[in-house]
Amino acid sequence: MHQIILALACCITAAAQAAPYIPTNGQQVVENVPRRGDPVQQELRRLRSELHASPNDITLATTIARRYIALARSETDPRYLGYAQAALAPWWSQTAPPPAVRLLRATLLQSTHQFTPALADLKAVLEAEPRNVQAWLTQATVQTVQGDYTGATASCARVSSLSIELVAITCIANIGTVTGKAERSEQLLDLTTERSPNAPVELQVWAMTLLAEMAQRRGDSATAETRYRRALSLQPRDSYLQGAYADFLLEQGRAAEVLTLLRDQSRIDALLLRRALALQQAGQSSALQADIKELAARFDAAAQRGDTVHQREQARFELLLRHDANAALALARKNWAVQKEPADIRIYLEAAAQARDTAAAKPVLDWVNQHHTEDAMAARLIRQLKVGTS
């Protein structure tokens, strides 16, 4: 079961990835150092010391990497992903490392949207270990993000024969909700979640977050609220969940609650963006300008590194905070070439609508029609685009 938890930790961490943090003045906090008395940190220090003495101990290295990947999620701190990669350094650049390392490498690669090499590694792992449920689940997630729903469905089918019901149904529902089967997928996942009260917390949070997003996309704010709060009661520091709930609150015009939710979360770019949007909504111009300046610096630094992980967030930044619809549309188009999740659909359509460029939205409009994607906000934006051309 711990392998499934690892897969979940990594499949969703990408949304919380942060660019290297560069303070703008000497008074800013660079890092909150974990307490030396923390048992988890004490154990990691002991393991790192052992690895330093035996850097080619693959069992030890993979154990440490898994621990760091889990911490990246539980502590809302993407730096741990870098520590995980460092533990795998002796094998990281090998063409064909052992399957255990290759799976962890794929997991870390997909967390930074390097989907092609991640899928290549996953394919190799599954050829060697066809019953590796973590590899099937990670592959299904990457395929869903890329819009390869046929491939993702096949991967989820393999998961269903190897894992518990909640994992399999959540995997399948994640596809169904964007392929014209939203109502049935939501009902099935809701039923499965209710009859899985003893499932690991991480699995329950994954399923409940997806259920909240399903309700939000169909415009049922009361149900979405209940589900988001239930998920947060189980794992309040989950960064993907915090971002999703923040977006829900922003849609509801509840900026003050976003600011409370995201207090002390400015290290993570996606959450800093949402805080800035809440400051804008609340009319706190002074703090807003500081956040805009900080976000601009981070996005500029990412561009200089050739880092394209945050194109969706940057498109929102340009559209909603800098009010540059054309720049936002260009970023949304680049992002669409990489990933095709509901949030990618919405920012693309919103940028096209504000830029009054219906023609630019055609790839997304065709995609929505082809896959029967159900999303109340996307539907409103499509109507807005059609009105603009009438």
Q: Report pLDDT for 363.
A: 97
- Nearest CA to 125 out of 98, 144, 148 is that of 98
Q: Report pLDDT for 13.
A: 42
Give how far the C-alpha of residue 240 lies from the chain's centroid of Cα atoms, to the nearest Å: 6
Taking the CA atoms of 106, 107, 109 and 110 in sequence, report the sign of the dihedral they define.
Answer: positive
The first and second tokens of residue 251, run together, are 């849609």
* Measured distance CA(353)–CA(347) in Å, rounded: 10
Amino acid at 339: Q
Class of residue 87 by CB neighbours under 10 A (exposed 0-12, middle 13-18, buried 19+): buried
CB neighbourhood size of 390 (10 A): 5
3-state SS record for the chain? CHHHHHHHHHHHHHHHCCCCCCCCCCCCCCCCCCCCCCHHHHHHHHHHHHHHHCCCCHHHHHHHHHHHHHHHHHCCCCHHHHHHHHHCHHHHCCCCCCHHHHHHHHHHHHHCCCHHHHHHHHHHHHHHCCCCHHHHHHHHHHHHHHCCHHHHHHHHHHHHCCCCHHHHHHHHHHHHCCCCCHHHHHHHHHHHHHCCCCCCHHHHHHHHHHHHHHHHHCCCHHHHHHHHHHHHHHCCCCHHHHHHHHHHHHHCCCHHHHHHHCCCCCCCHHHHHHHHHHHHHHCCHHHHHHHHHHHHHHHHHHHHHCCCCCHHHHHHHHHHHCCCHHHHHHHHHHHHCCCCCHHHHHHHHHHHHHHCCCHHHHHHHHHHHHHCCCCHHHHHHHHHHHHHHC
3-state class (DSSP) for residue 252: coil
Class of residue 389 by CB neighbours under 10 A (exposed 0-12, middle 13-18, buried 19+): exposed
Q: Report pLDDT for 112.
A: 87
Q: Report pLDDT for 18.
A: 42
pLDDT by residue for the chain (390 residues), tens only, comes to: 545 555 554 554 444 444 444 444 444 444 444 545 578 888 889 988 999 999 999 999 999 999 999 888 767 677 889 999 999 999 999 999 999 999 999 999 998 889 999 999 999 999 999 999 999 999 999 999 999 999 999 999 999 999 999 999 999 999 999 999 999 999 999 999 999 999 999 999 999 999 999 999 999 999 999 999 999 999 998 989 999 999 999 999 999 999 999 998 888 899 999 999 999 999 999 999 999 999 999 999 988 888 888 899 999 999 999 999 999 999 999 999 999 999 999 999 999 999 999 999 999 999 999 999 999 999 999 999 988 665
Query: How far, CA to CA in Å, does 320 sit from each of 260, 269, 329?
Result: 21, 15, 12
pLDDT in tens, 210-265: 999 999 999 999 999 999 999 999 999 898 999 999 999 999 999 999 999 999 88
* Measured distance CA(109)–CA(260) in Å, rounded: 32
DSSP string, 161-173: TTS-HHHHHHHHH
CB neighbourhood size of 95 (10 A): 5
* Measured distance CA(16)–CA(111) in Å, rounded: 9
